[in-house]
């Protein structure tokens, strides 16, 4: 299959691919998505084949406005509209009860579905032109780091999908926040570009699902994408080092072995001279860390490193999303620098 390259003005051609049951690489503000007509079970099945995605991992439906919610969802609480007024279009997905029109292939057999209105104007224009909801996970091979530009998505999907739209680099850099509004209190299933604190400002109490900070068990079914399986992982194993930035950096330097690489905050890069280094951004600029984290993880696949050490921001604000992605990439292999052996330098 030849993957058609489209620019951001070819909205009609992109919409045609979706309407005829094709797979489309679609830009969003979070990451590039692998989109298909969310009402076409056969098209949705092609997503799972192209990604190598487990069948029990549900998908998100993307819509151009909150007006479309009632087409696909029922028993919609007022809190959904309150969140939509505050954060849509934007990087937030709401878990709601779905109508029978939504195929089981999208929901993994659950009675709920994730709904999102993306902020990227080209993405919304394509969905509106296609006049169908777009089911779209991240546009990477399952388990690998998510793509934040067209080139990274083509690295995984060239020849496997019908087309891809170049919408430029993603401005958020991590996938959407997922909030389950069918739970009481509402439950954060995946942190993202809308922070826990922002959700609490609208909803009041918000519970945090244990899967945000640990691996799910083999028998547990995920209620949303990104919860259960090892995600975002480069080929080399990753160890996340938490703690104050300078303490964590010195711990990593003291424990570096030949062949190790490092993901670090910009100001600590000189400590790791002689090793492959990807800079995550300044330690004080967490939004920039979110934009860079997947590029940093993916970069190491072009090297011969055998192990990657990663500094990690505090799990507050959007730092919770960055920490979640790094921890999942590491399979939750986490060290707190203060808890480890004292560094020798």
Kindly report, residue by residue over 239-285, the tens digit of the pLDDT. Answer: 999 999 999 999 999 999 999 999 999 999 999 999 999 999 999 99
pLDDT given at position 225: 72
- At residue 171 the predicted structure's pLDDT band, cuts being 50, 70 and 90, is very high
pLDDT given at position 227: 64
Q: Is the sign of the CA dihedral 60, 209, 66, 176 positive or negative?
A: negative
pLDDT over threshold 50, residue 342: no
pLDDT given at position 340: 56
Question: What is the b/e burial string over 60-91, where b = at least 16 CB atoms within 10 angstroms of the residue's CB?
Answer: bbbbbebebbeebbeebeeebeebbeebbbbb
Higher confidence at residue 116 or residue 222?
116
Q: Can you tell me the mean pLDDT for 134-160?
A: 96
Kindly report, residue by residue over 46-92, the tens digit of the pLDDT. Answer: 999 999 988 888 999 999 999 999 999 999 999 999 999 999 999 99
pLDDT over threshold 90, residue 291: yes
pLDDT given at position 55: 82
User: Could you give the domains of the chain?
Assistant: 4-212 (3.90.870.10), 238-339 (3.40.50.11030)
Q: Can you tell me the mean pLDDT for 207-216?
A: 86
What is the three-class DSSP state of 202?
helix
pLDDT over threshold 70, residue 96: yes
pLDDT given at position 223: 73
The mean pLDDT of the chain is 94
pLDDT over threshold 50, residue 343: no
Element (H, E) at 187: strand 187-190
Sorted by sequence, the CB contacts under 8 Å of residue 87 that are 6+ apart come out as 194, 198
């Amino acid at each position: 299959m030849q993957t058609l390259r489209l620019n951001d003005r070819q909205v009609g051609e992109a919409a045609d691919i979706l309407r005829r049951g094709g797979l489309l690489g679609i830009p969003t503000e979070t990451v590039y998505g692998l989109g298909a007509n969310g009402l076409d079970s056969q098209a949705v099945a092609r997503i799972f084949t192209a990604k190598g995605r487990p069948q029990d991992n549900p998908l998100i439906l993307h819509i151009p406005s909150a007006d479309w919610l009632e087409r696909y969802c029922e028993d919609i609480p007022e809190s959904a509209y309150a969140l939509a007024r505050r954060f849509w279009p934007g990087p937030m997905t709401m878990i709601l009860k779905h109508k029978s029109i939504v195929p089981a292939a999208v929901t993994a057999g659950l009675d709920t579905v994730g709904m999102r209105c993306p902020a990227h104007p080209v993405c919304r224009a394509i969905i509106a032109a296609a006049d169908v909801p777009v089911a779209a996970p991240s546009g990477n091979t399952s388990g690998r780091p998510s793509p934040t530009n067209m080139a990274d998505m083509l690295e995984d999907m060239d020849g496997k999908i019908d087309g891809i739209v170049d919408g430029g680099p993603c401005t958020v850099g991590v996938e959407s926040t997922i909030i389950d509004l069918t739970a009481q209190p509402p439950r954060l299933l995946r942190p993202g570009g809308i922070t826990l604190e922002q959700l609490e400002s609208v909803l009041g109490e918000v519970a945090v699902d244990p899967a945000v900070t640990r691996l799910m068990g083999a028998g547990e079914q995920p209620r949303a994408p990104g919860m259960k399986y090892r995600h975002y992982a480069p080929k080399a194993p990753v160890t996340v080092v938490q703690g104050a930035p300078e303490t964590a950096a010195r711990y990593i330097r003291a424990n570096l072995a030949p062949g190790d690489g490092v993901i670090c905050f910009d100001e600590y890069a000189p400590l790791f001279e002689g090793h492959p280094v990807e800079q995550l951004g300044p330690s004080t600029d967490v939004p920039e860390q979110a934009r860079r984290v997947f590029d940093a993880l993916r970069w190491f696949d072009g090297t011969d490193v055998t192990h990657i050490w990663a500094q990690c921001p505090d799990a507050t604000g959007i730092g919770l999303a960055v920490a979640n992605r790094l921890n999942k990439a590491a399979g939750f292999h986490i060290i707190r620098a203060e808890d480890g052996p004292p560094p020798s330098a």
